[in-house]
Amino acid sequence: MPDISQMTESKFLKRSDVGAGKLLTITDCVQMNVAKANEAAEMKWCLNFEEVDKPMVLNRTNAELVGMITGERNSDNWGGMKIVAYDDPSISFGGKLVGGIRVRAPRGPAAQRPPIAKPAPTALDQEEDDIPF
């Protein structure tokens, strides 16, 4: 018999989808309607990833953590950055332990940031390089 968490399908990332840790590459951060069918729209920020088809709904804590991990406060700059999403059973809500998804920085080679493209030098840059001070 499958685990109870596998019996219900979700269009969003669940704890059972990430387990002890899944390395993910952010593609973008967008607002999505997270309301159930036949309910009023409820817009939340979500992360999309290269490795999985389901987006992850961002709560305040995870949004702050992604900002710290990437070194970027602007979510428009998170594309290409890697995070590890994992099941954290110690998350509480309303005074009860409910568990949830948390994120952390990758370790090892996966922790390296993608190279930032530098703009091509202009004629003005060349002139400034000739100034000795």
> Hey, is 66 helix, strand or coil?
helix
pLDDT band at residue 4, thresholds of 50, 70 and 90? Answer: low
Whole-prediction pTM: 0.75
Q: Within 10 A of 99 (CB to CB), how many other CB atoms are there?
A: 14
Q: Within 10 A of 12 (CB to CB), how many other CB atoms are there?
A: 14
**Ranges of each domain in the chain:** 4-129
Tell me the average pLDDT across 89-113. Answer: 88
Task: Convert the pLDDT of each residue in 24-48 to its tens digit.
Answer: 999 999 999 999 989 999 999 999 9
* CA–CA distances in Å: residue 128 to residues 120, 123, 131: 15, 9, 5
